[in-house]
Amino acid sequence: MQNLSHPKTLISIVGPTAIGKTNLAIQVAKHFNCEIISCDSRQFFKEMKIGTAVPSDDELAEVKHHFIQNISIHEIYSVGDFERDGLKFLDNYFQTNDVCVMVGGSGLYEKAITVGFDQFPDVDPSIRETLNKELEEFGIEKLQEELKNKDLAYFNEVDIQNKQRVTRALEIIRGTGKPFSSFRNQNTNPRPFNIVKIGLELPREEMYDRINRRVDIMINEGLLDESKQLYPLKELNALQTVGYRELFEFFDDNFTQEFAIEEIKKNTRRFAKRQMTWFKKDEQVKWFSPLDHKNIIQHIESQKSSS
Positions at the binding site for ATP: 15-22
Long-range contacts of 126-134 (CB under 8 A, 24+ apart): 127/171, 127/174, 127/175, 128/167, 128/171, 131/167, 131/170, 131/171, 131/174, 132/167
Type of residue found at 238? A
H or E element at residue 100: strand 99-103
- Please enumerate, by residue number, every residue annotated as part of a binding site for substrate: 17-22
H or E element at residue 66: strand 65-66
Would you say the C-alpha torsion 202, 206, 209, 210 has a positive or negative sign?
negative
Contact in structure between 142 and 113 (CB atoms under 8 Å): no
Return the closest-CA partner of residue 14 out of 101, 87, 79: 101
- Please enumerate, by residue number, every residue annotated as part of a binding site: 15-22
Rounded distance between C-alpha atoms, residue 124 and residue 119, angstroms: 16
User: Per residue, what are the HEC states of 166-185?
Assistant: HHHHHHHHHHHCCCHHHHCC
Rounded distance between C-alpha atoms, residue 244 and residue 233, angstroms: 11
Alpha helices in the chain (DSSP H): 21-32, 57-62, 79-93, 107-114, 125-138, 140-150, 152-155, 163-176, 204-221, 223-230, 245-251, 257-280, 293-305
